[in-house]
Chains A and B, each alone.
Chain A
Amino acid sequence: MEQNDITICRCEDITLGEIREQIALGKHTIEEIKRACRAGMGPCQGRTCAPLIANEIAKATGKPISEIPLAKFRPSTLPIKMASLLGGEKHD
């Protein structure tokens, strides 16, 4: 298997090759890469891929990984079914 075929974002099926492509286009933050190819936008919200992408950015830019900012964490923490948000207060 080619290294570039390795899946980095399992939720959105994004490969290492696609991540490297975005970095080569000058996108040097996780936020930018996420918006360009959806890596980190799936149900796990980047828990798996964000550190891997940060690592790739660090390698490509020569920056220490501690200087690569993480993407903003957004609610909800876990996927939540719409139905479970309905009608609760009437029973409180």
Chain B
Amino acid sequence: MIKSADVVVIGGGVVGCSTAYNLAKLGAGKVVVLEKNYLASGSTGRCGAGMRMQWGTETNCLLSRESVKMLSHLPELLNVDVDIEFTQNGYLMPAYSEKMAEQFKQNLVLQNSLAIPAKWVTPEESLEIVPFLNTKGMLGATYCAEDGHCNPFKVTEAYAQAAKKLQVEIYTNTQVLGIVTENGKIVSVRTNQGDIQTDTVVNAAGGYAKEVGRMVGVELPIFPERHEILVTEPVEPTMGPMVMSFYHNLYCQQSPHGSFIMGIGHPNEPEGYDINSSWQFLRDMVERVVEILPPLAGLNIVRQWAGLYDMCPDRTPILGNSPQLQRFYTAAGFSGHGFMISPITGQLMAEMIVGKPTAFPIQMFDAGRFERGELFVEPSVV
């Protein structure tokens, strides 16, 4: 194993790989990625794989808009031969109460001002988009035709391959045991395969970001929360967009492979590292999804699984340096939408770390914002 590096990235998910690639591209020197299992083995590989630009805060709109732009030609951008299964079949987000419709319309003004082509559609128009949608109780929906889907394993692989071409070293099956600091500076990272001397660490550990923070005495407000998903047998393409209902707290999309992928958020899910599947989820999921998409009742469920959201109190990630320790950067707390904003996140993190002006201002997303009380509350999260 390598003995020293200019930057050590902890976490071989999509954010870690994207950040490592961008660091190498910007000339950050020797970059190393450390992954406990294999690439995309954590939150990245367990996500719902949707990509949407319909958000309620300007930041999330911008981050996702730029990421979709990059994903639309990622293999060319990275010069790798990986099919990332990018499709743009849209997101349909129904509203069921006046309050919800009001919020959505408010979000639309913001989205449209940022050149995101989302629009309000009536229940009748929704039926043209998803013909078997149950519109009972629906006041309308927002729809963005350019939202879509991408394969998280393949996007991670694309970034990893591109990073390796730029001499980034990626160590899988390598667990970080600790980070050594002296006089307020990082000295080395201890792993089960040996030590790496470095003065710069990027914490891209997803659900485990808090633990990595604690290795250097930084208490991050990020906490892990289990979210469950299931997938059905593949069938002919019948549903274009992701249907995402905040009222039912669910999302459901037909993947390019033909299977339907769906998940729900559980309001009483405790904080923790449990990623076991539950039968309760199976029951709740089926009951709710069949209510709005009735023909799905005829499909066979093939598999269910769970993963960790790395939750932040305001549902917006922490991107940046920590006030307590020099050159300890965090890119985590994505609250369930890290995959879709990973391309731009990697770029911004790298720009910040090498000291270049960032493409968007992101200084305000540092971990210190919670102490300052400057939160960015995202209203639109399942």
Interface residues of B in 291-306 (CB under 8 A from A): 296-305
Q: Would you call B28 an interface residue if the criterion is a C-beta within 8 Å of the partner chain's C-beta atoms? A: no
Given A74-B277, A75-B304, is A82 in contact with B153 using a C-beta cutoff of 8 Å? no
Task: For residue B13, give the distance in angstroms from its CB to the closest CB of chain A.
Answer: 13
Task: For residue B163, give the distance in angstroms from its CB to the closest CB of chain A.
Answer: 14
Which chain B residue shows the least CB distance to A88?
Answer: B283
Across the interface, B41 reaches (CB within 8 A) one of A31, A80, A85, namely: A31
- Residues in chain A near residue B299, CB distance under 8 A: 81-82
Given A31-B41, A32-B38, A85-B283, is A45 in contact with B302 using a C-beta cutoff of 8 Å? yes
Q: Would you call A36 an interface residue if the criterion is a C-beta within 8 Å of the partner chain's C-beta atoms? A: yes
Which chain B residue shows the least CB distance to A37?
Answer: B153
CA distance A79 to B277 in the complex (A): 15
Q: Would you call A1 an interface residue if the criterion is a C-beta within 8 Å of the partner chain's C-beta atoms? A: no
CA distance A27 to B298 in the complex (A): 36
Q: Residues of A within 8 Å of B, CB-based: how many?
A: 21
Task: For residue A89, give the distance in angstroms from its CB to the closest CB of chain B.
Answer: 8
Q: How many pairs, one residue from A and one from B, have CB atoms within 8 Å of each other in the complex?
A: 67
Q: Would you call A66 an interface residue if the criterion is a C-beta within 8 Å of the partner chain's C-beta atoms? A: no
Q: Would you call A29 an interface residue if the criterion is a C-beta within 8 Å of the partner chain's C-beta atoms? A: yes
Interface residues of B in 41-83 (CB under 8 A from A): 41, 45
- Residues in chain A near residue B297, CB distance under 8 A: 81-83, 86
Q: Are A82 and B157 in contact (CB under 8 A)?
A: no
Q: Are B38 and A31 in contact (CB under 8 A)?
A: yes
Which chain B residue shows the least CB distance to A79?
Answer: B300
CA distance A27 to B105 in the complex (A): 47
CA distance A31 to B40 in the complex (A): 11
Across the interface, B296 reaches (CB within 8 A) one of A45, A79, A82, namely: A82
CA distance A43 to B199 in the complex (A): 48
- Residues in chain A near residue B298, CB distance under 8 A: 81-83
Q: Are B153 and A85 in contact (CB under 8 A)?
A: no
Across the interface, A76 reaches (CB within 8 A) one of B45, B157, B283, B304, namely: B304
CA distance A82 to B305 in the complex (A): 16
Which chain B residue shows the least CB distance to A29?
Answer: B38
Interface residues of B in 276-292 (CB under 8 A from A): 277, 279, 282-283, 286-287, 289-290
Interface residues of B in 75-102 (CB under 8 A from A): none
Q: Are A79 and B157 in contact (CB under 8 A)?
A: no
Q: Are B286 and A74 in contact (CB under 8 A)?
A: no
Q: Would you call B374 an interface residue if the criterion is a C-beta within 8 Å of the partner chain's C-beta atoms? A: no
Q: Would you call B165 an interface residue if the criterion is a C-beta within 8 Å of the partner chain's C-beta atoms? A: no
Which chain A residue shows the least CB distance to B173?
Answer: A29
Q: Would you call B257 an interface residue if the criterion is a C-beta within 8 Å of the partner chain's C-beta atoms? A: yes
Given A31-B41, A82-B298, is A76 in contact with B303 using a C-beta cutoff of 8 Å? yes
Which chain A residue shows the least CB distance to B257?
Answer: A38
Task: For residue A76, give the distance in angstroms from its CB to the closest CB of chain B.
Answer: 6
Q: Which of B38, B279, B286, B301 has the most CB of A within 10 A?
A: B301
Across the interface, B287 reaches (CB within 8 A) one of A27, A29, A31, A86, namely: A86
Which chain B residue shows the least CB distance to A80?
Answer: B301
Q: Are B45 and A35 in contact (CB under 8 A)?
A: yes
CA distance A7 to B41 in the complex (A): 26
Which chain A residue shows the least CB distance to B297?
Answer: A83
A 28-56 binary contact with B (CB < 8 Å = 1; else 0): 01011001101001110100000000000
Given A35-B40, A82-B298, is A45 in contact with B303 using a C-beta cutoff of 8 Å? yes
- Residues in chain B near residue A80, CB distance under 8 A: 300-301
CA distance A80 to B283 in the complex (A): 12
Beyond A75-B279, A76-B302, A82-B290: 6 further Cβ-contacts under 8 Å?
Answer: A32-B38, A38-B257, A79-B302, A81-B298, A85-B282, A86-B290
User: Which residues of B line the A interface, CB within 8 A?
Assistant: 38-41, 45, 153, 157, 232-233, 257, 277, 279, 282-283, 286-287, 289-290, 296-305
User: Which residues of A line the B interface, CB within 8 A?
Assistant: 27, 29, 31-32, 35-36, 38, 41-43, 45, 74-76, 79-83, 85-86
